[in-house]
Structure 1
């Protein structure tokens, strides 16, 4: 290979000033360096911006994926959490974003008011019952007294007889009787008057005690203790005799009458 020998600039007629060439070369090198540095910085900024955009895009995609997963699992999780929170920590107030009924807790004033109303109602009920029971007792006492008075009068009417007014006394007994007892006495009334007139007897009766054995609103059985003394036309007086009777009374036309009379030992 043939070598080419370079001819010095002086020999070629191209004379170059060394100082000028050196200065120009330094300026060009510095400018190129600054331009290269600027271009490198710009490239680095572009690369950083690209990396930031890529990172943001990746984060956004991850956030969207996580949100989609939470949306799928939200219904069951919300139901479970609501049940757990309702069972463990009832607050009476719905959480934001959830529907619920606000139930205010009663205050001590409300409780005291309710208790006061209940106590008053209980006292009124007790008072009403006591009043009703008192009325019942009074009504029972009045019925008992009415039956005892009717039994007393019925026995005196039945056992008291004066031959001078025998018919009137027998009719009075019939008027104060009812039921089968009245029918039976009416059938024997004439014989009863005849015996009283023939014996010319006068019987006086006195009731010493009465006691109601059983009673309803319109009937009763009354035990009666009585004594009687018989006097005849000759003036003789018998010793008083004691009697014990079981008298059944029944209401007839608004009046208590003798329904049955039995002598008991």
Structure 2
């Protein structure tokens, strides 16, 4: 019952974000054939950029003249950054909004234990993020059908999307923990979005300078690095393990804290 309620409350946001993301993916892949015809001029343009900038965005290993290269350079930025913003916004208010909207008293008066409340809210976050990523995958596969331009390694593509999905879940789990611990929705949303942008900035910095490459272990944006995954056709188990551990830890911590939290109604 509570899961359906939470899923329904967030369905409009899910639909809007999914439609926007699908439109972006299809639009970019739709213009790929015309971009591929100008591959030489595009390659010259990228070569004119500073080396650090090319390294940071994977332009040193990917080519705009191939569908996956174009996807990894142009579209991957949208799916990771916008997707992380969606996941953070979704999870950041799902618990705290009960107090913010003055509905906590009604919710706690229902014959439902707190562990069930926090569990079903967590499942609603998980379902929304997974569906959002399924839309990205479906739109990408549809876009590849008319993009043309050469063979596509679907193994590399699915490994990349797995990394992206885990990254979205990582930000969602952290925001979910914030939501369970804090009380004011506005503060939680700001902190969650701030974390996303800081992690993105650190990911860019890690690619700009070899001396700061150690930052790649700090930010999930480097765990889902398109250049590495698409060229090597490999998603490092270490990165997957770190994100899974962070997801489990944050959800379990939110579960434990909410059961003991003093909720003012």
TM-score (norm 1): 0.24
| Greater share of helix | 2
Kindly name which structure, 1 or 2, has the bigger radius of gyration based on alpha carbons. 1
| Greater share of strand | 1
TM-score (norm 2): 0.24
Q: Which has the higher contact order (CA 8 A, sep 6+)?
A: 2
